[in-house]
Structures are given as C-alpha cells and as structure tokens.
Amino acid sequence: MTYARIAQITRNTAETQIFVSLNIDGTGIGKLDTGVPFLDHMLEQITRHGLFDLEIKCTGDTHIDDHHSVEDVGIALGQALKIALGDKKGIRRYGHFYAPLDESLSRVVVDISGRPSLHMDVPFTRAYVGKLDVDLFSEFFYGLVNNAMITLHIDNLKGKNSHHQIESVFKALARALRMACEIDERAAGKLPSTKEML
C-alpha cells in the first residue's frame, strides 16, 4: 500500500447535514455524534472491532423522526468507504465473521465487489430498541451498500433480545469489513478479480 486510505465526505441536504472522516487503516478511534444515540453506539462497534478511525457528525430532522439521519449516515459512510478504498488493488476483497452477544449470534459476509447488493435476515423480536425503530437498520445498510458498492449478507442466526441482535450484527460487520479491506501482501498491486475491475 503506497497511499493513505483516508476519505472525508460532506453531504448536505434539506433534511441532514453530515460530515464523515474515515481512515481504514486506523486504530479504532471514534468521534460519533449522529443525533441518534443508539446509532452512535452501533458505529462505535465498527470503530472498535474494525479498527477504523471514524468521525461522524450529523445534524438532522430528528424532531420528525430518525429516518433521514440513519439512512443518510449510511449513505455518507458508504461514500467515504468507496473513496478510501481507492483503486482496491491488493485488498482481500472478501470478509466474513460470526459474532455472538449473549444469546444472539450473527453472521456477516462482505464482498467489495463493485456491485451493490444487500441480503438481510434479522428477525427482530421487538419493533424498537430504545426509541429507535428497528426498520431503520435496513435503511442504513441499503445506504451503505449502494454507495460503497459492496455486497453484504447479514444473518442473525439466533437471538431473543433486539439490542443484542443488532449489536452482534454490527460487531460481525466490523470484523468482516476489516478482513475485506485488509491488504494481502501476496496480492500486492493486483485486483482480486478475473475481470481486472471492481
């Protein structure tokens, strides 16, 4: 790797104003203020377990509800990830991880494919975690995959507590992304694709 895999994004709409700074090769430093406390807690999992340095500041219309902020943070984070990955030469491309959290177990598989696709099966046991509507997590992940141009398979294999279900998903996501983004020294300078394009 001969360049810093860092990106900064500013995304302003009539509904949200967002700044994202991402360093893929970080040490797990997070500075997170999305205006949605439970989302901040989930993004902390990405920083800590993925070892990404991530700063996100979002000011949104949460007086209406959390929808726009959650979705738009996913969009901006996806944009930052795509830029930070650069030409993708030498990356492992694929990543997977199983993460337990007490009774909950989740599996996340990532392909930095250049083709956005989300397959999510999380049978939430209740509609809200705290004040956050669990339906918004799919909006976050759609925003992420469509803008990062990745394929993401998310399965909560077991779980009874919705907080544990989604937190185990984010922990597994962090580790799977970390694996997929890592530089493979044996593949230095090469794209992990027979198409020679990702």
Distances in whole angstroms, Cα of residue 29 to Cα of each of 23, 53, 101, 189:
9, 5, 22, 28
* pLDDT tens by residue, 92-121: 999 999 999 999 999 999 999 999 999 999
What is the per-residue pLDDT across 111-152, written as a single tens digit (0 to 9) for each? Answer: 999 999 999 999 999 999 989 999 999 999 999 999 999 999
pLDDT (tens digit per residue) in 183-194: 999 988 888 888
* Identity of the amino acid at 79: Q
Q: Count CB-CB contacts under 10 A for residue 33.
A: 14
Q: Poorest-confidence range of 65-74, 157-166, 176-185, 188-197? A: 188-197
C-alpha 40, offset from chain centre: 12
